[in-house]
């Protein structure tokens, strides 16, 4: 049932400084409203507990995709359509384009933002596994200044983050992967479009001949938070690619993830799919398969 609209307030601060002052002066009272694609679902369902919002959509400081010093900065207000159309992201961070193409439908891709996807902190969100595999940092802004947090430390529990009540996500920063690095992204859902992930798998690997260099692996929908799989990475990084390694990595991954049974899937199915995707990823790294 739809919420009672007059109980809600949405204001439009003129500047980012004005918005940050609101957050500082009335802690916990105001929340940002970006694309509204998560917030409006809650409103329509009568489950939007928070009452006071301010729009951030017009803040130029939170927009744009810029490249400098081997790093790319993605403004928090970047939409999925912006991601899909970005030449620099397509060239260096193809998993983000893939995540954006498989997010919702065209309307959601036009409205939904990368910042909103991260702040909403759903373990089933689709850009976070790619951001984790790319070793992203999150730039947070408040009236007190700016700080950066490794994205791997951003989510602290189900729907919980390190963000303070006076902070906004300003941008995501990505170090450019090495030339020749291999990118692997798969979203498994009930359909190809408009489906919430049952498992989402992203990995980045450096490969030299039949040996692996640094490997990063991250998954969605298999734990209370989107998960960077450090233990599995430890099994893989610097090792020779062979059938034994596939087995050890798949076994370690099953130990590291903690999927649950829910309306979309079962823990058993999610574990099996995660392991299959690990095997697919590693098999694709050697020309002949391993």
For ligand FAD, the binding residues (CB under 6 A) are: 31-39, 41, 56, 76, 103-104, 108, 111-113, 115-117, 119-120, 125-126, 168-169, 194
CB of 117 vs ligand FAD, minimal distance in Å: 3
Minimum CB separation from ligand FAD for residue 14, in Å? 17
Nearer Cβ to ligand FAD (35/135): 35
Q: How far apart are CB 115 and ligand FAD at their closest, in Å?
A: 3
Nearer to ligand FAD, 74 or 168 (CB): 168
Cβ of residue 6: shortest distance to ligand FAD, in angstroms? 20
For ligand FAD, the nearest residue by Cβ is 116
CB of 37 to ligand FAD, least distance (A): 3
Q: Which of 32/177 has CB closer to ligand FAD?
A: 32
Of 195 and 207, CB closest to ligand FAD: 195
Question: Whose Cβ is closer to ligand FAD: residue 103's or residue 271's?
Answer: 103
Please provide the DSSP assignment of the chain as one string. Answer: ----GGG-EEE--SSHHHHHHHHHHSTTTEEEESS-TTHHHHHHTT-----EEEE-TT-GGG--EEEETTEEEEETT-BHHHHHH-HHHHHH-HHHHHHHHTSS-HHHHHH-BHHHHHHHT-TT-SHHHHHHHTT-EEEEEETTEEEEEEGGGTEEETTEES--TT-EEEEEEEEPPPTT-EEEEEEE-SSSSS---SEEEEEEEEEETTEEEEEEEEEESSSSS-EE-HHHHHHHTT-B-SHHHHHHHHHHHHHH------SS--HHHHHHHHHHHHHHHHHHHSTT--
């Amino acid at each position: 049932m739809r919420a009672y609209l007059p109980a809600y307030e949405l204001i439009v601060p003129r500047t980012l400084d004005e918005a940050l002052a609101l957050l500082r002066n009335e802690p916990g009272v105001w929340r940002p409203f970006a694309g509204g694609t998560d917030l409006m679902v809650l409103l329509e369902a009568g489950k939007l507990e928070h009452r006071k919002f301010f729009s951030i959509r017009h803040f130029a400081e939170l927009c744009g995709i810029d490249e400098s010093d081997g790093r790319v900065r993605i403004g928090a207000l970047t939409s999925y359509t912006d991601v899909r159309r970005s030449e620099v992201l397509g060239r260096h961070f193809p998993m983000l384009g893939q995540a954006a193409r498989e997010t919702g439908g065209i309307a959601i891709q036009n409205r939904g933002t990368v910042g909103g996807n991260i702040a909403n902190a759903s373990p089933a969100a689709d850009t976070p596994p790619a951001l984790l595999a790319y070793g992203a940092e999150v730039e947070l802004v408040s009236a007190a200044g700016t700080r950066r947090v490794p994205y791997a430390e951003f989510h602290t529990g189900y729907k919980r983050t390190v963000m303070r009540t006076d902070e906004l996500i300003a941008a995501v920063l990505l170090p450019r992967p090495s030339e020749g690095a291999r990118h692997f992204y798969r979203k498994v859902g009930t359909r190809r479009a408009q489906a919430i992930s049952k498992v989402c798998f992203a990995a980045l690997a450096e490969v030299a001949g039949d040996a692996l260099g640094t490997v990063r692996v991250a998954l969605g929908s298999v734990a209370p938070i989107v998960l960077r799989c450090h233990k599995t990475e430890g099994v893989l990084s610097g090792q020779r690619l062979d059938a034994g390694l596939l087995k050890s990595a798949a076994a370690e991954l099953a130990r590291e993830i903690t999927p649950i049974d829910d309306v979309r899937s079962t823990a058993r199915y999610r574990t099996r799919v995660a392991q299959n995707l690990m095997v697919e990823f590693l098999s694709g790294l050697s020309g002949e398969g391993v």
